[in-house]
């Protein structure tokens, strides 16, 4: 697929492309900028970063050097949990925009619901940023259904998305159901379970039948579930392999096989994660 074909083939969820590039741990400035530039040149139109990744300036450089209009790129970043007080949200978001070299971002997430996160205080700051035109959409990251419900009750702006770890080994059905019934888009980080999907027999069998990689099978399954995936990749080969997942159609048997994988392997579980998540 060329750039135009990929950009046109990736489905969208209310304007958000359902396949994007994650940049977690892409901390080498030159490599990060080049991976973003390569992804956009390939046809990706969704780039995800965060304050704590330390690469917002490199992401911005990659966007500027790609031959793609800024208006065509869905750009998301996240406010680190230690900065979720009202004044800190306002200040650090403006700093993020400066580092990215943009006037606004399409989606701003509260990265983790950890202290000093307070729904009313934090989301009032997000609402102010939205009113000022500095962010288009409000998002949460690593929120449970209960925490999402609270956020929805106090936020003037709709909660647009919730970004969490999700893949065939952590299927998040309860959270998926809540988001689907509340018009919240689910965004999957670590959608390849940090490489663990390559060793799952069910995924290996489906991949062999279709002549594709286990990564493509996992990404196609997420898409079938209405989930946006943001796999991280640096090399062109991995970027292209992930992109090719949009051409893969899983049949009902494939989907059922993946749905019935009886494992729950959470890869990301820091000490400040919410209880019972």
* Residues designated catalytic: 53
d(CA 18, CA 171): 17
d(CA 171, CA 27): 28
Its sign, for the CA torsion 48, 146, 182, 88, is: negative
CB 45 within 8 A of CB 71: no
Give Cβ neighbours of residue 110 (< 8 Å, ≥ 6 apart): 78, 79, 81, 84, 117, 122, 123, 126, 139, 140, 141, 143
Query: Which of 74, 28, 87, 88 shows the shortest CA–CA distance to 54?
Result: 28
């Amino acid at each position: 697929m060329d750039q135009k074909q990929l950009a046109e083939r990736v489905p969208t969820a209310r304007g958000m492309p359902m396949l994007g590039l994650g940049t977690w741990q892409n901390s080498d400035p030159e490599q990060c900028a080049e991976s973003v530039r390569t992804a956009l040149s390939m046809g990706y139109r969704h780039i995800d970063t965060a304050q704590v990744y330390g690469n917002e300036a490199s992401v911005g450089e990659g966007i500027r050097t790609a031959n793609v209009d800024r208006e065509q790129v869905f750009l998301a970043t996240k406010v680190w949990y230690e900065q979720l007080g009202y004044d800190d949200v306002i200040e650090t978001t403006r700093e993020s925009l400066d580092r990215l070299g943009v006037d606004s971002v399409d989606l701003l997430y509260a990265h983790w619901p950890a202290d000093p996160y307070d729904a009313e205080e934090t989301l009032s700051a997000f609402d102010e940023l939205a009113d000022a035109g500095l962010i288009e959409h409000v998002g949460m990251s690593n929120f449970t259904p209960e925490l999402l419900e609270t956020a929805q009750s106090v936020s003037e702006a709709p909660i647009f998305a919730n970004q969490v770890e999700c893949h065939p080994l952590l299927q998040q059905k309860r959270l998926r159901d809540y988001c689907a019934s509340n018009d919240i888009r689910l965004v999957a980080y670590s959608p390849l379970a940090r490489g663990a999907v390559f060793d799952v027999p069910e995924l290996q069998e489906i991949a062999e039948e279709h002549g594709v990689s286990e990564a493509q099978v996992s990404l196609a399954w997420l898409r079938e579930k209405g989930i946006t995936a943001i796999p991280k990749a640096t090399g062109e080969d991995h970027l292209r392999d992930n992109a090719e997942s949009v051409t893969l159609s899983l049949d009902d048997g494939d989907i059922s096989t993946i749905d019935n994988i009886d494992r729950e392997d959470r890869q990301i579980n820091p000490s400040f994660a919410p209880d019972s998540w």
